[in-house]
Chain A
Amino acid sequence: MTLADGGTAPLRFKPFHDSRLTTLLAPAALGVLMVAAWQLAVDSFDIQPFIVPSPHAIFDQLVESRASVWEGIRGTGRNALYGLLIGAAVGIVAALLSHASRIIDLMSVPVVAALSVVPIVALAPVLYTMFGAAANTARVIVAAITVIIPVYFNTLRGLRQVKPVHRELMTVYAASPVQVARAVTLPTAAPYVFTGLRIASSLAVIAALIAEYFGGPVDGLGKAITTSASSSNYPLAWAYVFGSILLGLAFYLVTLLVELRVSRHGPAT
């Protein structure tokens, strides 16, 4: 027996290639125009490299020292990734605990909120003395603390989105707490967790990179930028800046894709 009620065809998910193409093309065109204008300005006004080097010079340096830029990306990227993973784990576990216990919630929310106004990178010099300037530990910690904050708050918010009707359904089924978490609470929170991770991903890169300015081993983009700037190799410094943009973008895009995938079937009735 089949019956279509009201004759309404089910809404299928529209593929968004067409709109995606325009959303990609428009900013790309603007970017190309800006780079062209930059090159033109440097050429026609004879701007010195220590003020701003031309895109062409930066690109030359990028190609020439691609090995060391890649090296820097890997160094900073590793720290940012460890920081992201550790910070995400701590943030999610802390949010789960806060959600499970009212007392932990009362204790931890203000602490994490207070943490969010502390300029975390300012801790870097202190951490270098604590863990030794030869280790990357301080950078990973700085990145991790930065990550904890958005992950914690977003996860907590997600855990609180469980609909009463879903909770009652689980009561009706006499489901165990673990079953409730697996069937309802965690899937409800997942999109929020990934939103937190997306915000945290670029913060992790920024934090790991800035932390390099305050000391530590010489294997990251931040160190490379300061070193080449102080040796007056400005196009190279800019090439490393370009490398760090690529790194931040990569982190952001990967987490964005995961987020889009997870939140595809958003809240329905």
Chain B
Amino acid sequence: MSSTHPDGPIPANAVEVSGVSRVFPRRQGRDVVALDDVHLTVAEGEFVSLIGPSGCGKSTLLRIIADLDAPSAGSLSVFGKSSRQARLDQDYGIAFQQAGLLPWRTVAANVGLPLEIHRVDKGARRQRVGELLEMVGLTDFAKSYPDELSGGMQQRVAIARALAESPRLLLMDEPFGALDEITRERMQTELVRICSETGAAVVFVTHSIPEAVFLSDRVVVMTPRPGKIIEIVDSGPDTGERRDDDFRDAAGFFHTVARVRELLHGSPAAAALSAARGVENR
């Protein structure tokens, strides 16, 4: 790899995954191969989606990057460090499908939780929480409790919490999976804005094709049993265009959606058929 550079240290990639496999041993029957020889590089500031049917190992891959799970084989680095060191150094923020807010804490206290655990002093914490709540548009709800918020608002609190320590990498495991379509599209637009403001790299797990295509610089298409990457598709608006709601109507968007769908369904004919039926059209 090009890890030697004549002009001093080159910036490490956000994530480098090489030859990672994950096998879940079972006492009876064959072992489950969740990931098989996966190679993936995520550059600094890049938005990469992992997409595929259930069981394709996309969440497993994300959990391995987050050091919530360990690979059975292969190696990976996060900002040039081991994933464990990156976790201990708080190099990434994470959001799950469940918002996972602490119900006995106010919105502000939930957002401030990671800062509190890492002993950021009270004044700095309050200021940062204020900034984050403004970023996700929930300033008026700072004193509310999670059970007083809608699902979309809870998820925004979770995203603010993930961004609390200004991580350069954001890991998101189907964060909009439980939201309705309208809220979901709004949240996607929000996420694009937040990412451009923070400049963080994102690894985003989803099973929605339009969501992956709309958000990502690259869409990693995966297949199950065993979990593998079939292809990595470049995505995004034409040069000079912005990634906004107009992009959802652009020809390039539909083209990429069709391409990803084709890869997921195996053949162009099957893809066309399911498109005509409106199946998997989200």
Question: Which residue of chain A is the closest to B140 with respect to CB atoms?
Answer: A2
Q: Are A10 and B149 in contact (CB under 8 A)?
A: yes
- Contacts A10-B153, A165-B98, A168-B96: A268 and B118 contacting too (C-beta < 8 A)? no
- Chain B 121-156 per-residue mask, 1 if CB under 8 angstroms from chain A, else 0: 000000000000010010111001111111111101
Q: Are A10 and B98 in contact (CB under 8 A)?
A: no
Q: A5-B183, A8-B150, A171-B68 are in contact. Are A265 and B113 (CB under 8 A)?
A: no
Given the complex of chains A and B, what is the CA–CA distance between A101 and B139 in angstroms? 43
Interface residues on A, range: 20 to 34
A265 touches B104 (CB 8 A): yes
Which B148-172 residues sit within 8 Å CB-CB of chain A?
148-154, 156
Say if the beta carbon of A30 comes within 8 Å of chain B.
Answer: no
Q: Which residue of A lies closest to B164 (CB)?
A: A173
**Contact A187–B144 (Cβ < 8 Å):** no
Kindly list chain B residues whose C-beta atoms are within 8 Å of the C-beta of A190.
Answer: 104
Q: Is the CB of A10 within 8 A of B102?
A: no
Contacts A183-B113, A187-B104; is A268 near B180 (CB within 8 Å)?
no
Bound-complex Cα distance A184 to B99 (A): 15
The answer to whether B102 touches A5, judged by C-beta atoms less than 8 angstroms apart, is no
- CA–CA, A263 and B180, complex, Å: 29
- Chain B neighbourhood of A10, CB < 8 A: 141, 144, 148-150, 153
Q: Cβ of B44 < 8 Å from any Cβ of A?
A: no
Q: Which chain B residues (223-268) contact chain A, with CB distance < 8 Å? A: none
- Chain B nearest CB from A10 CB (Å) reads 5
The verdict on A269 contacting B137 (CB below 8 Å), with A5-B186, A10-B149 known, is no
Residue ID in chain A nearest B182 by CB atoms: A6
Chain B residues, Cβ within 8 Å of A168: 68, 96, 100
- Which listed residue, B68, B96, B114, B145, touches A265 by the CB 8 Å rule? B145
Judged by a CB distance under 8 angstroms, whether B87 is at the interface is yes
Q: Which of A173, A183, A187 has the most CB of B within 10 A?
A: A173
A265 touches B103 (CB 8 A): yes
Does A267 lie within 8 Å of B103, measured CB to CB?
Answer: yes
The docked-state distance in angstroms from the alpha carbon of A2 to that of B133 is 10
Q: For A174, A267, A268, which residue has the most chain B Cβ atoms within 10 angstroms?
A: A268
Query: How far apart are A260's CB and chain B's nearest CB, in angstroms?
Result: 14
Which residues of the partner chain A approach B98 to less than 8 Å between Cβ atoms?
163, 165, 269
Query: Given A165-B98, A165-B100, A268-B101, A175 and B144 touching (CB < 8 A)?
Result: no
Within 8 A of B (CB), among A61-76: none
- List, in ascending order, chain A residues with CB within 8 A of B88's CB: 174
B187 at the interface (CB under 8 A from A): yes
The answer to whether B154 and A269 touch across the interface, beta carbons within 8 angstroms, is yes
- The chain A residue with its CB closest to the CB of B103 is A268
A175 to B115, CA, bound (A): 11
Residues of chain A with a CB closer than 8 A to B139's CB: 2
By CB atoms of chain B within 10 A, which of A163, A179, A190, A265 has the most?
Answer: A265
Interchain CB contact under 8 A, B113 and A13? no
Indicate if the CB atoms of B150 and A269 lie closer than 8 Å.
no
Residues on B with beta carbons closer than 8 Å to the beta carbon of A175 = 117
Most chain B CB within 10 A, of A1, A3, A170, A171, is at A3
Smallest CB separation, A59 vs chain B (Å): 45
Near A by CB (< 8 A), chain B positions 75-102 give 87-88, 90, 94, 96, 98-102
B14: Cβ under 8 A from any A Cβ: no
CA distance A11 to B190 in the complex (A): 23
Q: How far apart sit A153 and B179, CA to CA, in the bound complex (Å)?
A: 37
Given A2-B137, A165-B96, A184-B102: A265 and B147 interface contact (C-beta under 8 Å): yes
Chain B residues whose CB sits within 8 angstroms of the CB of A163 once the complex forms: 98, 100
List 29 A-B residue pairs with CB atoms under 8 Å apart, sorted by A's residue number: A1-B137, A3-B190, A5-B150, A5-B152, A5-B153, A5-B156, A5-B179, A5-B183, A5-B186, A5-B187, A6-B180, A6-B182, A11-B147, A12-B148, A13-B148, A166-B102, A168-B96, A170-B117, A172-B68, A172-B94, A173-B117, A173-B118, A184-B102, A187-B104, A265-B145, A267-B103, A269-B101, A269-B146, A269-B154
Q: 11 new A-B pairs (CB below 8 Å) besides A166-B100, A268-B154? A: A5-B179, A10-B144, A11-B148, A168-B96, A175-B117, A183-B116, A190-B104, A265-B103, A265-B146, A269-B98, A269-B151
User: Which B residues fall within an 8 A CB radius of A?
Assistant: 66, 68, 87-88, 90, 94, 96, 98-104, 113-114, 116-118, 134, 137, 139-141, 144-154, 156, 178-180, 182-183, 186-187, 190
Closest A-B pairs by Cβ, 8 of them: A5-B152, A165-B100, A268-B103, A268-B147, A268-B146, A5-B183, A8-B150, A10-B148
